[in-house]
Amino acid sequence: MNTFDLRPLSLGEILDRTFTLYRSYFLLFAGISAIPRVLVLVLNLAQVFVLIPMGGLGPGGSAPRAPLPSPQMIGGIVAYAVLAMLALVVGLIVLLLTQGATIIAVSELYLGRSITIADSFRRVRGDLGTLLGVVILNGLAVFAGFIFLVIPGIYIMCRLLVCVPAALTENLGPVESLERSFALTLDNAGRAFMILLLYFALSFGAGALFAAPFEVGIFFSKNSPGLMAFWMAMTQVGGFVAGVLVTPVVTIASAVFYYDLRVRKEAFDLQMLMSPLGITQTGGGVPTVLS
């Protein structure tokens, strides 16, 4: 098993360590990303095969074609709405599971310990409520920033990049996690921005590679509902593959960035050297998940 020294890292070293972790433990991180997403994929595919039979898309995939709603169409609309709401709720749970399990896996690997996919999910299960609060508050803060101007929204997003690692690693509540992230990323928003920029670039590239070609097929099959359903389903599968491959990057990077900030600002490396059992304390004396 690889071990990783705790020392201040440059931005290039953070990214290099991120991809080293991902490459060395690809099956672990890809499995954490893929397994919960399967249910979201199934729900999205179900929406496709409910939408097409009721004539849900017109030429170019835009307006509905049926002039008068029939009982079957009304039933299809209700089924589609239920599936969409279910997919939204399941997608949120999947986000919490994958982020939390990935952070826990990175934390264990940083200490030179082994961990499995099942162990990662088992250990994050009890923290889903806290993570939900963190994600909601994070989203509200970023949204509020974008309401006023785009730049404040991006800045807040950068400052909150390590709130999830802080919540899990230091057993903090939602509000404390956001405050902790703001404290750690002070004077480091630029590096956080570059990490997020890389993630969005990778997401765009993966979407163009795995999903966009099928969207072309949708456009050229607008007069064939069966063929359109096939290409729409393949678009969902392509998006699933892209998400599975790219999402772990930003989560691993945020964990590596979090430890780098603690090393720089709190001598976390010295704390680990003085604690052979891996028991560390934060500035407020809160036991960590690594203990």
The 10s digit of each residue's pLDDT in 180-195 is 999 999 999 999 999 9
Query: What are the DSSP calls for 131-155, one per residue?
Result: HHHHHHHHHHHHHHHHHH-HHHHHH
Confidence of residue 287 (pLDDT cuts 50, 70, 90): very low
The per-residue pLDDT for 35 is: 94
Averaged confidence pLDDT in the chain: 84
Please compute the mean of the pLDDT values over residues 31-59 and round it to a whole number.
80
Confidence of residue 79 (pLDDT cuts 50, 70, 90): confident
Residues 6+ apart with CB under 8 A from 28: 105, 115, 116, 117, 120
Q: Check whether 68 has a pLDDT greater than 90.
A: no
Structure pTM? 0.83
The 10s digit of each residue's pLDDT in 111-169 is 788 899 999 999 998 899 999 999 999 999 999 888 877 788 899 999 999 999 999 99
The per-residue pLDDT for 27 is: 96
Confidence of residue 279 (pLDDT cuts 50, 70, 90): very low
Rg (CA), the chain: 22
Provide the CA 36 distance to its chain's centre, in angstroms.
Answer: 12
